[in-house]
């Protein structure tokens, strides 16, 4: 643990235990995992946090309906999210639960700080509340429902609530928030979400109700046990709990402010308006960046429990393979946009890009080396222009990947890799090493060395996306376990001629439809 290492702290939203894990949860967690892995490989001291949000009226009501305690429901469902992260092969360093003692202490300390700063006061709340969204809505935000009723803008039912409540002086933070967005142009991304957040804040901010008295399943307000804290104040605080708040040395000093909160677009307001306001009011710096990604549809249809088309990520892994699912989710759509899952698109990516492009490149090159070069890295002679162009493309990839990752443009990073994979397949066809075997064996060795070195660089850079498959490729190139971080990319650590290689094996099988399948 070196103090001189650059740090990187990335978080998923904490997932609500009233839900079953679905493709949206997998998508966010996977995106954070790819970033965390990439940054670790690139020499950063990384903290990657995920976890579960376990309080609120919705959990209390669901537990009551199930005839169990809210804590028992939270324990059961939190375990499902922990399992999802493990099954996705995620490398999170911590899994936080809002029912943990460390979190209760952290939230109560933040609350006390906000009271001391004069940003929390006691009043009473009267207005529209959605249990499903755990959110309050103004009259002007509601939409018409059936039979002349009213619904939240999300379509969730709302009820009129009147009760004593503590309020956070959000209205006092309007100008300071706008100034913060101006001073930090990259703090909310993509641009469409930044515009949405700024427009919301410019429209005027109302003070925010931050406690409830009508239910008990929550963290008690310090000094007033009749009130429990509003679930969003409780949930958002997890990001500082996990680095030891209220203790402000150690992990807190090392990792805070977080580098990135990754969220779905439906919760950008909570993360990019309420959360920075809470933090600034407590004298704490906000996170550097909030990135809000889009939603998935299923075969063109909006996903909903009632339609019964919820996509189970564990089912996808079972059917297609783990690294194939990891690849598809970050390749299929520009990150930040909405995307559509379809079986056809999944099979297309697996067969044309993973099996044909990447897998076939590695398999045929390594097989030729095995057959013609005595199962060892071939020697190479002088390089011609075509060789140099191929090597420059492979050795120049790290810079492109770093840029894409820092902007959370995973699809751009993968496309940069595939440009080189396609170029390498073109180079094989042009150079035709199988023909050179008879006419110029030394030249064949050079061509195969260039290709093996290209695959080494590709495999180093696909590790973050497809860890298991990339490890198999690096094994087949006899790259030592301690020579797989990104400092090994480029010409300085190129393959050494004569290194013995194992017998090659396919890494990306084609997906074949079962007989009688659609």
Please tell me the predicted confidence (pLDDT) of residue 3: 55
Q: Is 357 left (phi over 0), alpha (psi -120 to 50) or beta?
A: alpha
| CA distances, 161 to each of 153, 154, 245 (Å) | 17, 18, 33
Asked if residue 169 belongs to a domain, the reply is no
Structural domain including 357 reads: 343-493
| 449 within some domain | yes
Backbone φ and ψ for 167, nearest 5 degrees, come out as: -120, 145
DSSP state of 299: T
Tokens (6 digits) for 511: 């997906």
For residue 416, give both structure tokens. 């940069």
Kindly tell me the sign of the dihedral angle through the C-alpha atoms of 7, 8, 14, 15.
negative
Q: What is the pLDDT of residues 84-104, one digit of tens each?
A: 999 999 999 999 999 999 999
Mean pLDDT of all residues in 492-508: 97
pTM: 0.94
> What pLDDT, on the 0 to 100 scale, is given for residue 2?
44
Q: pLDDT tens digit string along 429-484? A: 999 999 999 999 999 999 999 999 999 999 999 999 999 999 999 999 999 999 99
Structurally, the chain folds into a number of domains equal to 1
Distance (Å) of CA 199 to CA 5, 175, 185: 38, 13, 15
Band of residue 127 on the pLDDT scale cut at 50, 70, 90 = confident
**Model confidence at 516: pLDDT above 80:** no
% of the chain with per-residue pLDDT over 90: 87
pLDDT of residue 306: 67
d(CA 160, CA 447): 73
Region 170-181: mean pLDDT is 98
Residues 445 and 380 sit within 8 Å (Cβ to Cβ): yes
Q: Where does the pLDDT of residue 515 fall: very low under 50, low under 70, confident under 90, or very high at 90 and above?
A: low
Q: Is residue 347 part of a domain?
A: yes
List, for residues 14-30, the tens digit of each pLDDT value.
999 987 898 999 999 99
What's the CA gap between 445 and 77, in Å, rounded? 56
Question: Residue 76 — left, alpha, or beta (φ > 0 → left; ψ -120 to 50 → alpha)?
Answer: alpha
- Tokens 């095995």 belong to 370
In a domain, 451, yes or no: yes
Cα(126)–Cα(107) distance, rounded to whole angstroms? 25
Residue 369: name the closest of 428, 457, 430 by CA: 428
Contacts of 27 (CB under 8 A, 6+ apart): 293, 296, 329
Please check the confidence at residue 66 and state whether its pLDDT lies above 90.
Answer: yes
Q: What are phi and psi of 277, to 5 degrees?
A: -65, -45
Whether residue 517 has pLDDT greater than 70: no
* pLDDT of 305 above 80: no
The pLDDT tens digits for 318-356 are 999 999 999 999 999 899 899 899 999 999 999 999 999
**Which candidate, 49, 59, 55, places its Cα nearest to that of 96?**
49
CA gap 465, 467 in Å, rounded: 6
SS (H, E, C) 353-397: HHHHHHHHHHHHHHHHHHHHCCCECCCCCCCCHHHHHHHHHHHCH
* 56: in domain: no
C-alpha distances in angstroms, 459 versus 369, 469, 483? 17, 9, 12
Which CATH number fits the domain that encloses residue 427?
1.10.730.10
């Amino acid at each position: 643990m070196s103090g001189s290492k650059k740090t990187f702290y990335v978080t998923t939203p904490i997932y609500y235990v009233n839900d079953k894990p679905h493709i949206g949860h997998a998508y966010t967690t996977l995106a954070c995992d790819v970033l965390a892995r990439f940054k670790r490989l690139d020499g950063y001291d990384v903290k990657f946090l995920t976890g579960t949000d376990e309080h609120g009226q919705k959990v209390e009501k669901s537990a009551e309906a199930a005839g169990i305690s809210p804590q028992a429901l939270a324990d059961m469902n939190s375990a499902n999210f922990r399992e999802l992260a493990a099954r996705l092969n995620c490398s999170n360093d911590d899994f936080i639960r809002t029912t943990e003692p460390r979190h209760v202490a952290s939230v109560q300390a933040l609350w006390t700080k906000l009271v001391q700063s004069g940003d929390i006061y006691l009043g009473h709340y009267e207005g529209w509340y959605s249990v499903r969204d755990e959110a309050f809505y103004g009259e002007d935000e509601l939409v018409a429902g059936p039979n002349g009723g009213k619904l939240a803008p999300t379509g969730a039912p709302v009820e009129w609530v009147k009760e004593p409540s503590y309020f956070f002086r959000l209205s006092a933070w309007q100008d300071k928030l706008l100034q913060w967005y101006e001073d930090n142009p990259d703090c909310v991304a993509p641009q469409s979400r930044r515009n949405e957040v700024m427009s919301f804040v410019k429209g005027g901010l109302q003070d925010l109700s931050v406690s409830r008295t009508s239910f008990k399943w929550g963290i008690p307000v310090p000094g007033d046990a009749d009130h429990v804290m509003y679930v969003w104040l409780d949930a958002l605080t997890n990001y500082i709990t996990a680095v030891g708040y209220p203790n402000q040395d150690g992990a807190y000093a090392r990792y805070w402010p977080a580098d990135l909160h990754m969220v779905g677009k439906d919760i950008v307001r909570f993360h990019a308006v309420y959360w920075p306001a809470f933090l600034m009011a407590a004298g704490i710096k906000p996170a550097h960046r909030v990135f809000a990604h889009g939603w998935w549809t299923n075969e063109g249809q909006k996903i909903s429990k009632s339609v019964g088309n919820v996509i189970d990520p564990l089912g996808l892994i079972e059917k297609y393979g783990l690294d194939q699912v990891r690849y598809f989710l970050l390749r299929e759509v520009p990150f930040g946009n909405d995307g559509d899952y379809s079986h056809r698109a999944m099979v297309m990516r697996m067969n044309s890009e993973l099996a044909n492009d990447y897998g076939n490149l590695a398999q045929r090159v390594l097989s030729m080396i095995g057959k013609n070069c005595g199962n060892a890295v071939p020697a190479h002679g002088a390089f011609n222009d075509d060789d140099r162009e191929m090597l420059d493309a492979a050795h120049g990839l790290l810079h492109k990947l770093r840029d894409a990752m820092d902007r959370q443009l995973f699809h751009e990073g993968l496309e940069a890799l595939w440009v080189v994979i396609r170029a390498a397949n073109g180079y094989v066809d042009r150079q035709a090493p199988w023909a050179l075997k008879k006419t110029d064996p030394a030249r064949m060795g050079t061509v195969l060395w260039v290709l093996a070195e290209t695959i080494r660089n590709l495999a180093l850079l696909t590790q973050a996306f497809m860890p298991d498959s990339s490890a198999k490729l690096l094994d087949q190139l006899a790259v030592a376990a301690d020579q797989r971080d990104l400092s090994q990319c480029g010409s300085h650590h190129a393959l050494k001629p004569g290194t013995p290689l194992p017998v090659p094996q396919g890494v990306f099988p084609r997906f074949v439809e079962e007989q009688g399948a659609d």
